[in-house]
Chains A and B, each alone.
Chain A
Amino acid sequence: MVLSESVLAAIYLKAVVPLLEDIAEIDEEVRDIIKDWNFNLQFQLPGGLHASSLLFKEGTVEAWRARSPGPAAVLTFSNAATLNAVFQGKSDKSPRPNLYGLFRLKELLKVDSLLKKIEYYLEPDEDLLSDPEAFSNCVRLTLYAMVYGVKVIGEEDPDMIPLARNLPRGIVEIRVKDGPAVHLEVENGLFNPGKGRAVEPCAYLEFEDLQSAWIMLQGEMDQFAAIGSKKVKIRGLIPLIDGINPILDRLSLYLSG
């Protein structure tokens, strides 16, 4: 299976980097790093068509899955493969800053530690997982990455586009019982992900607990068995859930590289 470097780069830009918005809310170290940052930071591939922006303001972060709405320190990776290698920790080739970015070099030197924080939550160590609140955050962030990743794959992966176009229309909610939730609106091959619960989902998939959600999100679950034994509950328009499954499998494939 040949995976597309540009799809993977889009996953990093649109599903992974924006997690800093949520991480800043829960992580004091991140807030400490960014407390005096009042500027926009944009990651992009040449040309800026694939871009992701972080808008820092008084210790908060707002993520845009697009170019920055104002002037920004822009970090341009020479191509998708380089971006992916950097995010995978396989290369330390720095992206090229623009002129505005050169004036922010002091801050830009710390960007790496911000990005490391994403890894900290998406690939937590045992210590983090043993703290119930942190565990819940890891699951929540991974769910966010998942729905935004599904959007990238369903809309941009050439093998998955035809499948995505055939999905029934509707909103599917994915939630942990009494825990974090995400939802995904699907229509004509386009995906509109959202954080939190949906008002009236056409289908839902509910994990019995954080542990089941985590195992599934790590791709280590026999989903059919888990559903049969009620660790995962599905109701409503099942073909919508079924149809998204291959897209989720493809997402795991991209992220396991």
Chain B
Amino acid sequence: MKENGRKTYTYNKSMELFEKAATLIPGGIYGHMSPTAMVPGEYPYYTAEANGCRYKDIDGNEFIDYMCAYGPMVLGYGNPVIDGAAEAQRKMADTTNHPGPVMVELAEKLVDMVPIADWAFFAKNGGDMTTYATLAARAHTNRKKVITVRGHYHGVAPWCTSYGHGGVTAEDRQNTLQVEWNDLDGFRQMAKENRGEIAAFIAMPYHHITFGRQELPAEGYWTGVEKICREEEIVLILDDVRAGFRLNLGGSNEYFGFKPDLICFSKAVGNGYPISACVGKKELMTAASKVFFTGSFWMSAVPMAAALATLEELENTEAVKKMEKSGQLLIDGLVEIGQRHGLEINPSGPPAIPFIHFCDDPSLYLNQLFCSEVTKRGSFFHPHHNWFLSVAHDEIDIKETLNHAEEAMKAVKSALDGKSPCLAV
């Protein structure tokens, strides 16, 4: 399709490769990157190359990226400082019989940066750390149950995966209780009814669930939760896998004003190198040491060197401030475009991790239409999942994206043409 002499994107090569993949790999592409999670057929499926805040798919389309690999990219793809540190470590050693000295350096860096941290533990994925944290909490309290917030994502281990997904049994979930987000009374009640049985409460720092609006904690929510946890001797675990290092370098609890006992990090901590971390208070260190939890690649030194460099670079570039500023610019621009075209846009979440919904669009048809149209013009917007800013996004990139959004909005208006959104998408 052509627009102002410029073609909008097509994804023929992605589709072709996917056809082949589907004969070799269950689902073709599985998990959170499955095309089913976006608008299938209207998005790229495979990356060819990436640099800064941009990447190219295998059809040669270039995107300004607002998913940042679903969070890990925080300083730009191919960042020379991070890649340089990783390369220097690679030349020495990576996966061997022992960890490298860099493991101790990295632990020390995290303990320095994160106010609640007295120790640090490393693995690969966010889900490794949320499971580890709940095990450590159980070992510490000698209790079985864990309270979670309905809809919060902590990975794919059966204890935190919804019943109904393949292979998960009701028994897997029998020690996992659920409360609603921001429901302090509900939490208090549950803690009381299960007194002496709750090992941990685990939650994201704010409500950012796929398909939903992002909701910040209500006034007094986190301090209330913290108080109940202290009174009931429940370990308070912050799952900062997604938001970590985008709101506050000391953990998102510093941004919202509370002190958890354990924090799980991953995603942004290594700027794309595979590493996750759990940090905790010293009271939990002995219990944490009793949990047998490990993996073949968990001690690899290259991702640790990359993480160390990432943490330093986040400090040196005033990353948090910069991401907030560009996120705000993006959101203000989108809201203004919506207003001008008579389609009201409601932003939600902190500017560095923003998301949008259209007014009166509970089924997300308009999100699906608009985000895929923006993506076809060169800025990758996910229709169902919160977005991410990075330090590599400059004002000039945001302005280019707003131009894509302007054209996309016109395309949405013409597709709607008085029709209900469910007939237009």
Contact = CB atoms under 8 A, between A and B. Distances in A.
B159 interface: no
Nearest to B41: A230
A227 B19 CA distance: 11
Given A229-B15, A233-B41, A238-B384, A224 B165 contact: no
A44 to B, nearest CB: 32
Interface string B1-41: 00000000000000100110110001111100011110111
B223 interface: no
B403 interface: no
Contacts of A203: 363
B28 A228 contact: yes
A16 B232 CA distance: 53
B40 A227 contact: yes
Contact of A224 (B15, B27, B211, B362): B27
| Chain B binding surface, main DSSP class | loop
B363 A229 contact: no
Contacts of B40: 227-228, 230, 233-234
A54 to B, nearest CB: 34
B164 A235 contact: no
B425 interface: yes
Interface range on chain A: under 10, 10 to 19, 20 to 34, or 35 or more?
20 to 34
A14 B18 CA distance: 40
Contacts, number: 85
Given A170-B363, A238-B211, A246-B165, A228 B422 contact: no
Interface in B236-250: none
B163 A229 contact: no
Interface in A201-252: 201-204, 222-225, 227-230, 233-239, 243, 245-246
A236 B422 contact: yes
B132 to A, nearest CB: 27
A159 interface: yes
Contacts of B15: 229-230
B420 to A, nearest CB: 6
B45 interface: yes
B81 interface: no
Interface in B190-239: 211
Contacts of B36: 223-224, 227-228, 234, 238
3 A-B pairs with the lowest CB-CB distances in the bound complex, closest first: A224-B27, A225-B22, A228-B35
Interface of A: 159, 162-163, 166, 170, 200-204, 222-225, 227-230, 233-239, 243, 245-246
